[in-house]
Every structure is written in structure tokens, then in C-alpha cells.
């Protein structure tokens, strides 16, 4: 069955993308945080300052927030642009089928 997507709710798309980007940033930030902690421990053991550990702690806290905010803003802008273009082009056509 053919369907046509002619309108996207900007707020809903913004919230959805904020959640997606926030979760993706956690997937990215946690391994980087662990690596930086290991580097910080190694530098502290050698007598140098543990700046990488401090930076990585701040990084792992703020990166998901920054990604979520930018995902929300990008989603709202993308929905507005899509809605304008869909008026001119008729929107995206896609085919659906009933699940068995």
C-alpha cells in the first residue's frame, strides 16, 4: 500500500533526534572516557599532571548534553525544511505492508 509523508511535527522530530543523539554520544563518550582515565592514571603514575582524566570527566558529562541539544535543534530545522519542500514536491512516497 502506498503512503505519502507530507508533514512532520517539528517538536516531535526534535525530541526524537535529541534522544537518539544523546544516546549515541553516550556510546561514543564512555569508551573515550575510559581510555582517557587509563591515560590519566598512567600520567599520574609517572609524576605528570592528570589533565586527560579531568578533561575526560568533563567531556563525558557535557558531550551527551551538547549532542542532544544539537540533535533537537537540527531536528526542528529539518522538519520545517521538509514540510516546506513537501508542499512543493508532494512529499516522500513509501510503501507499507501489513505485518504477518
Maximum Cα–Cα distance across the chain? 68
What global pTM score does this model have?
A: 0.66
Report pLDDT for 53.
56
CA-to-CA distance for 17 and 5, rounded, in angstroms?
Answer: 18
Return the pLDDT at 62. Answer: 83
Q: What is the pLDDT of residue 36?
A: 72
pLDDT score for 10: 92
Count of CB atoms within 10 A of residue 50's CB?
17
Report helix, strand or coil for 38.
Answer: helix
Grid cell, residue 75, equals: 531536528
Mean pLDDT by 10 residues, the chain (100 residues): 87 91 84 74 59 64 86 93 91 81
Amino acid at each position: 500500500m502506498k503512503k505519502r509523508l507530507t508533514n512532520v511535527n517539528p517538536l516531535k522530530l526534535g525530541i526524537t533526534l535529541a534522544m537518539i543523539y544523546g544516546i549515541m554520544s553516550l556510546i561514543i563518550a564512555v569508551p573515550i572516557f575510559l581510555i582517557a582515565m587509563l591515560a590519566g592514571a598512567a600520567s599520574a603514575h609517572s609524576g605528570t599532571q592528570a589533565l586527560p582524566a579531568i578533561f575526560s570527566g568533563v567531556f563525558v558529562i557535557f558531550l551527551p548534553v551538547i549532542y542532544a541539544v544539537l540533535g533537537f535543534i537540527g531536528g526542528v530545522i529539518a522538519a520545517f525544511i521538509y514540510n516546506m519542500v513537501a508542499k512543493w514536491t508532494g512529499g516522500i512516497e513509501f510503501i507499507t505492508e501489513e505485518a504477518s
